[in-house]
């Protein structure tokens, strides 16, 4: 992590969203630009995640959701999939204690049964360790897909014999992995791409969307602040008209 002095930022100038969600895109391009293997980009991505978690705590954000591994990412070369699994295991083994100290409460979004039993155990241990923390909720979407999440919810509803008349948005939300959490206010995608890529497709229905040019490893505290400034200048209407 860099030792450079933190630039003073005027937090009174921003509206701090409760919940931000980030599609951490561009690790591969960040690495290629430096003549490094893609895995080096993912390692730099994890280092940056540390910095962004610190910044979220500093700015007073309550929930951070990150897209770490999608259901589609299984189609990447096996060596890259293995590297991402190793990186996740290392985060769960080593970084989780520091996150715990910091008051971070870890949640998992996605299909846990689709990952190795060893990794499943590490995820469960980390969730148990951090469950009483309330400074920042960190949702890690890993083996996650928005459509798969909706299908999972529908299956559970059918298993629970929920009658059609009882169905409403609130009830449906309670069957999603994000049960009990507020919807994201802001979805940020790094690396300039303009797609939602099956991320929180139900929950982000009214989120503000922001595409930023930086590759994920370069999206630092100052870049997050700039994103929050842009968010602060948006007018959220939720389908209504300006007052
Ligand atoms: C997208 O960049 C990034 C990913 C698919 C993985 C994101 C993962 C991390 C930042 C590290 C893992 C973090 C945890 C908590 C496990 P890309 O590879 O698609 O980049 P590209 O579009 O430039 O190729």
CATH number of the domain where residue 197 is located = 3.40.1180.10
Q: How many other CB atoms sit within 10 Å of the CB of residue 144?
A: 25
Q: Decide if 29 is inside a domain.
A: yes
Q: Decide if 103 is inside a domain.
A: yes
pLDDT beneath 50: ranges in the chain:
1
Q: Decide if 156 is inside a domain.
A: no
- Please indicate whether residue 138, judged by its CB atom, sits closer than 6 Å to ligand 1: no
Q: Decide if 55 is inside a domain.
A: yes
- How many domains does the structure of the chain reveal? 1
143: annotated active-site residue: no
Distance separating alpha carbons of residues 224 and 24, to the nearest angstrom: 12
218 close to 241: Cβ distance less than 8 angstroms: no
165: annotated active-site residue: no
pLDDT score recorded for residue 135 = 98
- Please indicate whether residue 81, judged by its CB atom, sits closer than 6 Å to ligand 1: no
Give the nearest ligand 1 atom to 43 CA. 11
Q: Decide if 240 is inside a domain.
A: no
The H-assigned helical ranges of 60-184 are: 78-90, 96-101, 117-130, 146-159, 169-173
pLDDT score recorded for residue 1 = 44
Q: Decide if 189 is inside a domain.
A: yes
pLDDT score recorded for residue 4 = 67
Q: Decide if 1 is inside a domain.
A: no
CA neighbor of 140 nearest in space, from 106, 189, 96, 191: 106
Task: Indicate the pTM of the whole model.
Answer: 0.95
Q: Decide if 175 is inside a domain.
A: no
Distance of CA 234 from the midpoint of ligand 1 (Å)? 28
Which structural domain, as residue segments, surrounds residue 222? 14-145+184-232
Distance separating alpha carbons of residues 177 and 146, to the nearest angstrom: 10
**Backbone torsions φ then ψ of 116, nearest 5 degrees:** -60, 150
Distance of CA 148 from the midpoint of ligand 1 (Å)? 20
pLDDT score recorded for residue 3 = 55
């Amino acid at each position: 992590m860099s030792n450079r002095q933190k630039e003073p930022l005027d937090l009174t100038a921003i509206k701090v969203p409760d919940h931000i969600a980030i599609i951490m895109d561009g690790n591969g391009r960040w690495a290629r630009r430096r003549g490094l293997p893609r895995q080096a980009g993912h390692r730099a991505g994890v280092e940056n995640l540390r910095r962004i978690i610190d910044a979220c705590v500093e700015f007073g954000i309550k929930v951070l959701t990150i897209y770490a591994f999608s259901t589609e990412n299984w189609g990447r070369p096996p060596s890259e999939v293995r590297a991402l699994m190793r990186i996740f295991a290392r985060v769960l083994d080593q970084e989780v204690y520091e996150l715990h100290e910091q008051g971070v409460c870890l949640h998992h979004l996605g299909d846990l049964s689709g990952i190795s039993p060893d990794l499943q155990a590490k995820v469960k241990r980390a969730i148990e360790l951090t469950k009483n923390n309330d400074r920042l909720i960190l949702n890690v979407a890993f083996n996650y897909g928005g459509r798969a999440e909706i299908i999972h919810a529908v299956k559970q509803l059918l298993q629970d014999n929920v009658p059609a008349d009882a169905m409403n948005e609130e009830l449906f939300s309670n069957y999603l992995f994000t049960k009990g959490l507020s919807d994201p206010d802001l979805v940020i995608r790094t690396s300039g791409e303009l797609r939602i890529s099956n991320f929180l497709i139900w929950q982000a229905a009214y989120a503000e969307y922001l595409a930023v040019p930086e590759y994920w490893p370069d999206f630092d505290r100052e870049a997050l602040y700039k994103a929050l400034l842009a968010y602060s200048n948006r007018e959220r209407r939720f389908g209504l008209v300006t007052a």
